[in-house]
């Protein structure tokens, strides 16, 4: 590499340092303080729907409403533990002996209902103890067989299928939630910046992915947001590919899609780098994708300014169409087949959606979502640029939480 190229690279010190212990403690307290209002909004929804119980199965909702910090890895072996029942006055968390201490510690406002892989058998006792007769159930998550068994176990209790109640609430972000997403973004920014000197021809995708994971884990992440994608050359045309033993070659693009988790909240970013001087085609693809992303961001920023004077925010499909239209107007390559973006927070993929088939309603505020257009040429190359942005209509603000530059970065030459 030339001295000029390496001097132009972003440096880890360009980005915020990992959160201090005081930050973590403050965020824990912010969640504890926010839970009564979160539960109050759910109970209002329950009252409007005429139900006196809400049975939750999703780990994200359990963490959001009770504080118990499960994630998708834990639920695979947790059995019935982590499921929860909200009533008009109580929060009840199901747990077996492996988790009762955790519930008392992390969800102190909830009470434990002991259940060890016996949900249907214990269901009559649970609903009787809670005093509920009509229970809303997260219907997109519960298996059909489990639904039937619960209905048969307590035939006097009506199960009401619902979807989207807590998801809709979670898409509107509290200040402490946005702070944690930003902190997770900074972990990712620093990790990639520190990795740049290690990228050279001959190293494998898998080696770079492992190196980047190590840098995130030792640089402030409590865990990864999801497995690192590192894809070189034609492999970059796989929107959700996995790193393998392919060796990096000069003249290729190198796509990283990765994220960190900090205090329960996640980041998600994609950067496409150039290994050596980029070819004309690859550079052209990159420029169109960058223009597509900037058009979307500018559209949202302009709409936020107008919203301060009463104008509605655009919908997710509106923003997707603007971004997609830049690529289609260029006409040389096909636009991305996936959606333009997604909300993020406790989970990597949340509401709001920014895709052709997302809800045609104004974007919520304040919220955080990704903007990630791409162009994928099968067998040849792929480019995606992904950033997280936080918007707040009341302040008329749009903040790009991902700070790693989107201008072309050349490595390994």
Asked whether the beta carbons of 101 and 81 are under 8 A apart, the reply is: no
In this predicted structure, what is the pLDDT of residue 73? 81
Q: Record the pTM.
A: 0.95
337: how many CB neighbours lie within 10 A of its CB? 10
In this predicted structure, what is the pLDDT of residue 77? 80
Give, for all 413 residues of the chain, the pLDDT tens digit.
444 455 589 999 999 999 999 999 999 999 999 999 999 999 999 999 999 999 999 999 999 999 998 888 887 788 889 899 999 999 999 999 999 999 999 999 999 999 988 999 999 999 999 999 999 999 999 999 999 999 999 999 999 999 999 999 999 999 999 999 999 999 999 999 999 999 999 999 999 999 999 999 999 999 999 999 999 999 999 998 999 999 999 999 999 999 999 999 999 999 999 999 999 999 999 999 999 999 999 999 999 999 988 899 999 999 999 999 999 999 999 999 999 999 999 999 999 999 999 999 999 999 999 999 999 999 999 999 999 999 999 999 999 999 999 999 999 87
Which CATH superfamily groups domain 50-169?
Creatinase/prolidase N-terminal domain (3.40.350.10)
Cis peptide before 352 (omega within 30 of 0): yes
238: how many CB neighbours lie within 10 A of its CB? 14
The DSSP output letter for 160 is: E
CATH of domain 3-17+172-411: 3.90.230.10
Distance in angstroms (rounded) separating the CA atoms of residues 333 and 346: 35
In this predicted structure, what is the pLDDT of residue 145? 95
Report the candidate in 53, 45, 42, 84 with the shortest Cα–Cα distance to residue 159.
Answer: 53
In this predicted structure, what is the pLDDT of residue 6? 52
Same fold, 3-17+172-411 and 50-169: no
Distance in angstroms (rounded) separating the CA atoms of residues 205 and 189: 19
The CA–CA distances, whole Å, from 327 to 289, 322, 333, 359 equal 7, 9, 7, 23
- The tokens of 90 are what? 């109580």
In this predicted structure, what is the pLDDT of residue 4? 42
What are the extents of the domains in the chain? 3-17+172-411, 50-169
């Amino acid at each position: 590499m030339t001295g000029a190229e390496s001097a132009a690279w972003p440096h880890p010190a360009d980005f915020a340092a990992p959160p201090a212990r005081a930050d973590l403690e403050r965020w824990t307290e912010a969640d504890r303080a926010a839970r009564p209002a979160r539960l109050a909004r759910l109970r209002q929804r329950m009252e409007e729907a005429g139900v006196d119980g809400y049975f939750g199965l999703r780990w994200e909702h359990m963490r959001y409403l009770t504080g118990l910090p499960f994630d998708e890895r834990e639920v695979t072996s947790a059995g019935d533990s982590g499921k929860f029942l909200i009533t008009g006055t109580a929060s009840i968390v199901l747990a077996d002996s492996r988790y009762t201490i955790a519930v008392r510690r992390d969800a102190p406002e909830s009470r434990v209902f002991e259940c060890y892989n016996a949900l249907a058998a214990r269901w009559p006792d649970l609903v009787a103890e809670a005093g509920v007769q009509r229970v809303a159930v997260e219907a997109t998550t519960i298996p059909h067989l489990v639904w039937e068994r619960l209905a048969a176990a307590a035939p006097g209790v009506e199960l009401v299928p619902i979807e989207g109640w807590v998801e809709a609430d979670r898409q509107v972000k509290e200040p402490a939630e946005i702070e944690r997403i930003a902190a997770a973004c900074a972990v990712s920014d620093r990790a990639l910046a520190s990795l740049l000197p290690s990228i050279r021809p001959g190293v494998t995708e898998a080696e770079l992915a492992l190196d980047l994971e190590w840098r995130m884990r030792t640089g402030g992440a409590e865990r990864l947001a999801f497995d690192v994608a590192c894809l070189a050359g034609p492999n970059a045309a796989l929107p959700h590919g996995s790193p393998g033993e392919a060796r990096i070659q000069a003249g290729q693009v190198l796509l990283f899609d990765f994220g960190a988790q900090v205090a329960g909240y996640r980041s998600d970013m994609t950067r496409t780098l150039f290994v050596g001087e980029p070819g004309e085609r690859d550079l052209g693809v990159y420029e169109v994708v960058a223009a597509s992303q900037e058009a979307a961001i500018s559209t949202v920023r302009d709409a936020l300014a107008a919203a301060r004077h009463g104008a509605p925010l655009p919908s997710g499909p509106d923003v997707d169409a603007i971004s997609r239209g830049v690529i289609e107007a260029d006409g040389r390559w096909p636009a991305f087949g996936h959606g333009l973006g997604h909300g993020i927070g406790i989970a990597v993929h949340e509401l709001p959606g920014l895709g052709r088939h997302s809800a045609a309603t104004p974007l919520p505020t304040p919220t955080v979502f990704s903007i990630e257009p791409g162009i994928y040429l099968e067998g040849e190359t792929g480019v995606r640029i992904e950033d997280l942005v936080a918007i707040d209509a009341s302040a008329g603000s749009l903040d790009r939480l991902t700070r790693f530059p989107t201008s072309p970065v050349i490595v390994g030459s």
